[in-house]
């Protein structure tokens, strides 16, 4: 694990040092650099976090004759199997690191053949001196980020956007086209970033850059496999269960390959509980870490019960009101605004685990593969009803509108109340649901600010930039797949990396902690998409087949524990001076006017509504504005310095 960086098309003494220094947190154990010979204007470097082959795994790593070099961020879990295959083909290894498999694998199979054989999380740059070209690539699900800038023949890349800013070729200018999608989704969808002229390489893609010509091409090497709903054939449920059991334990075993101790995050949920249970088969004295809140929303008692059952060395970290003071630093690490105060929890959890370990495992990815989110069940039910009664959604909208909010709260899975704004979201979803474009329907349900609300808060000078043209449509070839799988695929393509994975990468790496996810083993994903829908959602039970696995390990009250949404209970912190003062100081009238995006009076009215009603949606909307303004202060105004 490390951070990588580099540039092409120009040369500048000292730039590699500056790029590495600003993200030294990603790799505090050492630094390595490479400059292409023969006058080729290309250089790359890395910051190392030593986990495998502690003494010999320094980078860059070369092939036998030095014609291929690589800087690598991540882990190749199946490196021992790849190494054995490559040695049998005559390749000579100089180290025991997983990184060296890349240079020999590239020689043997080419870039695409190598990527398709790799099982892991990664972002890397590989230079081929004979061809005078290099490749950058990301893993299948986007666990490791990779940003780049390219203009006028000058190319800069890095694991973090702030490293690219060190080049001086691009400034921290806000990307105005990203504001509207950010407010809508609480994040900026890839490949855009909040920085103008800085993009992020899409997941499961690689880029080829010919240095002499200065041209590049980007290609996808993997995607979530969808069966054709009309021709799909399935095996027995029992066969799927046995295959999943064997594959999951193998994925956990691979993720535990390390030359340093490995621990785990443990929540109240079945995903992390199964992960830790599998870990105990391969190792003893597992350290586990849970996070809670100084509020009624706290899952640490349930996690503590699971840890006791499994016999782990359990640690609890509690978020306090003063932790809101961490937000500017967290935004700096994130490189982007993310409209979610839960970032504090991720930061604190990583901070606590990093005191003891360099590597932890987690349970992310299971909800996307096996349908663990409540909205997946909602959309699936709505679609089934529409098949029989096409008019049902439009007819249901006024019924929901007339239903008292107190009644609807009973069906809302969050501990917070749905509230009047949440009720409006449900009604809007039903009205907009068209049964045609699944992506449009998916976004209608997860939208934080409705189109009318965004239009209302924008200034007249900014409204022309606020369109929904950025919203992707579902591809025609994907519409042939089973409905639930189409929905799950959308989450892999447009949700997982933008939301869950980037938050974990940036907050764990802020503390030099590596985060590994067995449920994102591509073999697990491919198996999940070969399963019929009833093994994912069955009679109202989410992650049905996964819970069958849990039944083999845990007593019913743990195995069948309802999903507890993990979120930051902002409504419980509204009266705390740390949060109240942060909002007042950050979202003041002069700051809002300075940006020119929002009407100050509308922002003030929103803050007043949040304090008056304590509603779930109002809290999240204010937090989204807060994080956007903090991003401007950190990167544009440079009001904070953390490097």
Based on the residue annotation, tell me whether 2 is a catalytic residue of this protein.
yes
Q: Tell me the C-alpha distance between 117 and 76, whole Å.
A: 10
Task: Output DSSP code: residue 553.
Answer: T
pLDDT of residue 466: 74
- In tens, the pLDDT along 381-404 reads 777 777 776 766 777 777 667 767
Q: What is the pLDDT of residue 410?
A: 56
CATH superfamily of 258-366+493-516+538-559: HUPs (3.40.50.620)
Which residue ranges make up the annotated binding site? 98
Q: How does pLDDT run across 504-529, given as a tens digit for each residue?
A: 999 999 999 999 999 999 999 999 99
- Output the six-digit token pair for 442: 């998916």
Cis bond before residue 74 (omega within 30° of 0): no
* N-term to C-term CA, the chain: 20
Residue 352 has pLDDT above 70, yes or no: yes
The candidate with the shortest Cα–Cα distance to 346, out of 159, 146, 509, is 509
Cα–Cα distance, 127 to 108 (Å, whole number): 15
Write the pLDDT tens digit of every residue in 447-476.
Answer: 888 888 999 999 998 988 776 666 666 677
Condensed to tens digits (0 to 9), the pLDDT of residues 469-498 reads: 666 666 777 778 888 898 899 888 888 988
List the binding residues for L-glutamine: 98
Q: How many CB atoms lie within 10 A of CB 239?
A: 10
Q: Which of 2, 125, 255, 619 is catalytic?
A: 2
Note the pLDDT tens digit of each residue in 615-631: 888 999 999 999 999 99
Q: What percent of the chain has pLDDT over 70?
A: 93
Give yes or no for residue 14 having a pLDDT over 80. yes
Question: Does 416 score more than 90 pLDDT?
Answer: no
2-220: CATH topology: 3.60.20
User: By three-state DSSP, how is residue 601 classified?
Assistant: helix
d(CA 216, CA 221): 16
Would the pLDDT of 563 be above 80? no
Residues 200-227, mean pLDDT to the nearest whole number: 94
Could you tell me the two tokens for 141? 């699900």
Assigned token pair, 204: 């499961």
Beta-sheet pairing, 199-200 with 147-151: antiparallel
Q: Is the pLDDT of residue 612 over 70?
A: yes
Query: What 3-state class would DSSP assign to 417?
Result: coil
Q: What is the pLDDT of residue 469?
A: 65
Q: What is the mean pLDDT of the chain?
A: 90
Task: Write down the pLDDT at residue 428.
Answer: 74
Q: What is the pLDDT of residue 513?
A: 96
Q: DSSP secondary structure string, 209-250?
A: EETTTTEEEEEE---PPPPPTTT-----HHHHHHHHHHHHHH
CA distance 372 to 270: 10
CB 194 within 8 A of CB 49: no
Distance (Å, whole) CA 10 – CA 626: 38
Domain ranges of the chain: 2-220, 258-366+493-516+538-559, 374-491, 570-636
Residues in a beta bridge with 263: 360
pLDDT digits (tens, 9 = 90+) for 428-446: 777 777 666 777 777 777 7
**Residue 407 pLDDT > 70:** no
Residues 75-132 pLDDT 10s: 999 999 999 999 999 999 999 999 999 999 999 999 999 999 999 999 999 999 999 9
**Is residue 48 predicted with pLDDT exceeding 60?**
yes
């Amino acid at each position: 694990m490390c951070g990588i960086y580099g540039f092409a098309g120009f040369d500048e003494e000292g730039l590699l040092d500056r790029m590495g220094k600003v993200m030294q947190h990603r790799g505090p154990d050492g630094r390595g650099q490479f400059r292409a010979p023969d006058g080729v204007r290309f250089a790359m470097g890395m910051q190392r976090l030593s986990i495998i082959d502690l003494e010999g795994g320094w980078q860059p790593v070369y092939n036998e004759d030095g014609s291929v070099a690589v800087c690598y961020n991540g882990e190749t879990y199946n490196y021992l199997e790849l190494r054995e295959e490559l040695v049998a083909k005559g390749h000579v290894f100089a180290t025991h690191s997983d990184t060296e498999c890349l240079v020999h694998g590239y020689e043997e199979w080419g870039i695409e053949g190598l990527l398709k054989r790799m099982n892991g999380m990664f972002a890397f740059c590989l230079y081929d001196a004979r061809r005078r070209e290099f490749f950058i690539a990301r893993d299948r699900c986007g666990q490791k980020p990779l940003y780049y800038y390219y203009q006028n023949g000058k190319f800069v890349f890095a694991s973090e956007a702030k490293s690219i800013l060190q080049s001086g070729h691009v400034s921290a200018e806000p990307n105005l086209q990203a504001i509207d999608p950010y407010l809508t989704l609480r994040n900026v969808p890839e490949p855009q970033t909040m920085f103008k002229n800085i993009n992020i390489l899409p997941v499961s893609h690689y880029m080829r850059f010919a240095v002499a010509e200065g041209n590049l091409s980007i290609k996808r090497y993997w995607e979530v496999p969808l069966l054709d709903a009309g021709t799909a054939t399935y095996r027995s449920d029992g066969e799927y269960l046995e295959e999943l059991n064997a594959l999951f334990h193998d994925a956990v075993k691979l993720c535990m390959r390390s030359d340093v101790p490995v621990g785990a995050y443990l929540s109240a949920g079945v995903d992390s509980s199964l992960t830790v249970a599998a870990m105990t088969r391969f190792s003893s004295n597992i350290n586990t870490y849970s996070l809670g809140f100084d509020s009624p929303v706290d899952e640490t008692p349930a996690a503590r019960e699971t840890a006791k059952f499994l016999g782990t060395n359990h640690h609890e970290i509690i978020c306090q009101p003063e932790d809101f003071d961490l937000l500017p630093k967290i935004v700096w690490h994130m490189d982007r605004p993310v409209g979610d105060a839960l970032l504090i929890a991720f930061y604190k959890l990583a901070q606590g685990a990093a005191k003891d370990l360099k590597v932890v495992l987690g349970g992310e990815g299971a909800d996307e593969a096996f349908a663990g989110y409540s909205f997946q069940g909602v959309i699936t039910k709505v679609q089934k009803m529409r098949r029989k009664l096409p008019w049902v959604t439009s007819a249901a909208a006024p019924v929901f509108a007339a239903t008292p909010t107190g009644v609807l709260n009973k069906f809302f899975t969050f501990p917070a109340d749905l509230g009047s704004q949440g009720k409006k979201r449900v009604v809007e979803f039903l009205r907009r649901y068209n049964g045609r474009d699944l992506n449009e329907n998916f976004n209608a349900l997860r939208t934080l600010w409705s189109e009318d609300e965004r239009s209302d808060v924008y200034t007249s000078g900014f409204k022309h930039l606020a369109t929904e043209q950025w919203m992707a449509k579902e591809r025609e070839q994907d519409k042939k797949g089973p409905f639930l799988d189409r929905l799950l695929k959308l989450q892999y393509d447009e949700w997982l990396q933008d939301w869950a994975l980037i938050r974990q990468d940036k907050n764990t790496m802020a503390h030099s902690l590596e985060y590994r996810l067995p449920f994102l083993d591509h073999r697990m994903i491919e198996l999940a998409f070969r399963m019929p829908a009833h093994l994912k959602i069955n009679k109202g039970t989410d992650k049905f087949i996964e819970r069958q696995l849990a039944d083999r390990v845990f007593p019913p009250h743990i195995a069948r524990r309802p999903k507890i949404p993990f979120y930051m209970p902002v409504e419980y912190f509204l009266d705390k001076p740390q949060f109240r003062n942060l909002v007042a100081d950050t979202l003041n009238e002069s700051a809002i006017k300075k940006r020119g995006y929002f009407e100050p009076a509308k922002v003030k009215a929103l803050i007043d509504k949040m304090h008056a009603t304590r509603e779930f949606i109002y809290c999240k909307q204010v937090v989204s504005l807060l994080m956007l303004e903090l991003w401007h202060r950190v990167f544009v105004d440079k009001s904070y310095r953390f490097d």
